[in-house]
Amino acid sequence: MSPESDQPVEYYFNTRTKMVEKGRQSSWEHLMGPYPTFEEAAGALEIAKARNEQWEDDDDRWRNES
């Protein structure tokens, strides 16, 4: 058994090619992840959008409480 087979499989979304990569195959500047599944990596842009919207909502609440 090779040491690589002991490592969990990770998936990345490549923002340049808009493709999911199994393992890190491209430069970090084009990758989002790692994600544990292909499906999660494929939804990377939607995940980032939802997180950004949540952070903006949190910021708005924080500003209104001050």
The tens-digit pLDDT sequence of the chain (66 residues) is: 445 568 899 999 999 999 999 999 999 999 999 999 999 999 999 999 999 999 998 888 899 986
Question: Could you tell me the residue range of the domain that residue 13 belongs to?
Answer: 9-65
In a domain, 1, yes or no: no
pLDDT at 59: 87
In a domain, 20, yes or no: yes
In a domain, 2, yes or no: no
Round to whole Å and give the CA distance between 9 and 56.
32
33: left (phi over 0), alpha (psi -120 to 50) or beta: left
Q: What is the pLDDT of residues 15-29, one digit of tens each?
A: 999 999 999 999 999
- Tally of domains in the chain: 1
Per the CB < 8 A criterion, the answer to whether 40 and 10 are in contact is: no
In a domain, 45, yes or no: yes
Sign of torsion, CA 32 11 47 62?
A: negative
In a domain, 4, yes or no: no
